[in-house]
């Protein structure tokens, strides 16, 4: 019955490796996001997709590449992992990229993927 799910929950890997994190939402939402939360709990947006199209692309290294095969899935692939990539990565989804004035477009977060790069 999970709304936004991510796999894996934990990921421990060596520097230089390539890894992927998968995200799926069963809420029927149009928009999905990837966030990075560092050790100081700072939650920062990385990417946003609306109906499989990239709409937000923050200043993120090219080693990070999101892929949305359909609007229910948004995966994150990371090449050549570095120590500084260690963080918790959250996927989120929201109903629409545009809403009525005054109505907040609530984002629903997944449980997070804790990535540790050694």
Partner 1 sequence: QKEVEQDPGPLSVPEGAIVSLNCTYSNSAFQYFMWYRQYSRKGPELLMYTYSSGNKEDGRFTAQVDKSSKYISLFIRDSQPSDSATYLCAMTKTSYDKVIFGPGTSLSVIP
Distance between CA atoms of residues 106 and 95, nearest Å: 7
Rounded to a whole number of angstroms, the minimum distance from the CB of residue 74 to partner 1 is: 15
The residue among 9 and 63 lying less far from partner 1, judged by its C-beta, is 9
The residue among 1 and 14 lying less far from partner 1, judged by its C-beta, is 1
Q: What one-character-per-residue DSSP string does 35-80 give?
A: EEE-TT--EEEEEEEETTEEEEE-S--TTEEEEEEETTEEEEEE-S
| Interface contacts to partner 1, rule CB under 8 A | 4, 40-45, 48, 56, 58, 90, 92, 96-112
The residue among 68 and 107 lying less far from partner 1, judged by its C-beta, is 107
């Amino acid at each position: 019955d999970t709304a936004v799910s991510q796999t894996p929950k934990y990921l421990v890997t060596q520097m230089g490796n390539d890894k992927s994190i998968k995200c799926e939402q069963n809420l029927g939402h149009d928009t999905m996001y990837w966030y990075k939360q560092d050790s100081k709990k700072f939650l920062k947006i990385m990417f946003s997709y609306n109906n499989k199209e990239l709409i937000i692309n923050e200043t993120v290294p090219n080693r990070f590449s999101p892929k949305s095969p359909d609007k229910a899935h948004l995966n994150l692939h990371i090449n050549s992992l570095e120590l500084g990539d260690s963080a918790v990565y959250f996927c989120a989804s929201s109903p629409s990229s545009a809403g009525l004035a005054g109505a907040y477009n609530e984002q629903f977060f997944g449980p997070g993927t804790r990535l540790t790069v050694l």
